[in-house]
Amino acid sequence: MAETSNRIEIAFSRLKTEGRKAFVAYIAAGDPSLDQTVEIVAALERSGVDIVELGVPFSDPVADGIVNQLAADRALKAGATTRGVIETIKAIRERSQIPIVLFTYLNPIYAYGYEQFHRDAHQAGADGILVLDLPPDEAAENAELKPVAGLNHIQLIAPTTPEDRIPSIAAKAEGFIYYVSRLGVTGARGDIPQGISEQVDRIKQHSEVPVCVGFGISSPEQAAQVAAKADGVVVGSAIVKLIEQHGSDADLPSRVEAFVKPLVHGAKGA
């Protein structure tokens, strides 16, 4: 891999050298508050998380399950804003260099100003962005929505992605590809879908970018199963549910750390 200053790429390069898989954790920025988000990210880093996805609160998160929808609603009610999320990244950077990906819908960043959002997020210390409802071909056809330098543009591929679209999506991916392992909205599940290994191999035929698998992972055993088939695992709803249950507890960060650490160990075989 060529030299890079992007923290996501540096992390994957290090993990490859170590022969270990990546653990990506998702939380909703601003749940239960933006100040607590800084502490939760610190707890995730202590637990061994390699990359943090921060969800930008949005009033209509159609791809999210009820757990993440409620988290976005709590964050908005607590006063979180898109600009506030960017300020929170600055606060995180005062104490941590963990890679940060912004997980968002197009509406909040379009309202903020598409190019301005990218610039401000990059300057604040974000490393990547995943826009859930912006297909790569649509971005290519609209000059105002084309990728802006500074942030890795993470791409999503799902079981329903047409076979002939996978090469073009994979070719545009930066940082890593997020393979959505099942149909439907986000949320913890009790089983792991079949065919993950085959689909990851299919994606890797068209890109050298690492492939991380998410949607539904909620136990160390599941994390280990998925990590055996991919370059990394993504866990979100299970962590967000814990935050929902203990958001008012003074020891919330330590609870998050204790919960996530076994998941990380499962993924990394530690």
Q: Is residue 45 part of a domain?
A: yes
Q: Please, which residues bridge with residue 214 across strands? A: 180
Q: Is residue 2 part of a domain?
A: no
The one catalytic residue in 31, 64, 120, 127 is 64
pTM of the model: 0.93
Rounded-to-integer distance, Cα 245 and Cα 115, Å: 37
Q: Is residue 242 part of a domain?
A: yes
How are strands ordered across the β-sheet holding 155-157?
Answer: 152-153, 128-131, 100-104, 51-55, 22-28, 232-235, 211-214, 177-180, 155-157
Confidence of residue 188 (pLDDT cuts 50, 70, 90): very low
Question: Which pLDDT score is estimated for 216?
Answer: 83
Rounded-to-integer distance, Cα 136 and Cα 123, Å: 24
Question: Which pLDDT score is estimated for 191?
Answer: 55
CB 106 within 8 A of CB 153: no
State whether the Cα torsion 149-150-152-155 is positive or negative. negative
- What's the domain count of the chain? 1
The string of pLDDT tens digits covering residues 129-154 is 999 988 777 766 676 776 678 899 99
| H helix or E strand, kind and range, residue 256 | helix 252-268
Confidence of residue 186 (pLDDT cuts 50, 70, 90): very low
Q: Is residue 115 part of a domain?
A: yes
Q: Please, which residues bridge with residue 232 across strands? A: 22, 212
Question: Which pLDDT score is estimated for 210?
Answer: 98
64 is an active site residue: yes
Q: Is residue 1 part of a domain?
A: no
Q: Please, which residues bridge with residue 156 across strands? A: 178
249 is an active site residue: no
Q: Which residue range forms the structural domain that includes residue 259?
A: 7-268
Q: Is residue 110 part of a domain?
A: yes
We report the CATH number of the domain holding residue 189 as 3.20.20.70
CB 23 within 8 A of CB 48: yes
Residue-wise over 214-223: b if at least 16 C-beta within 10 A, else e? Answer: bbbbbbeebb
The one catalytic residue in 31, 50, 53, 127 is 53
Phi, psi for residue 166 in degrees, rounded to 5: -60, -45
Does 187 have pLDDT greater than 70? no
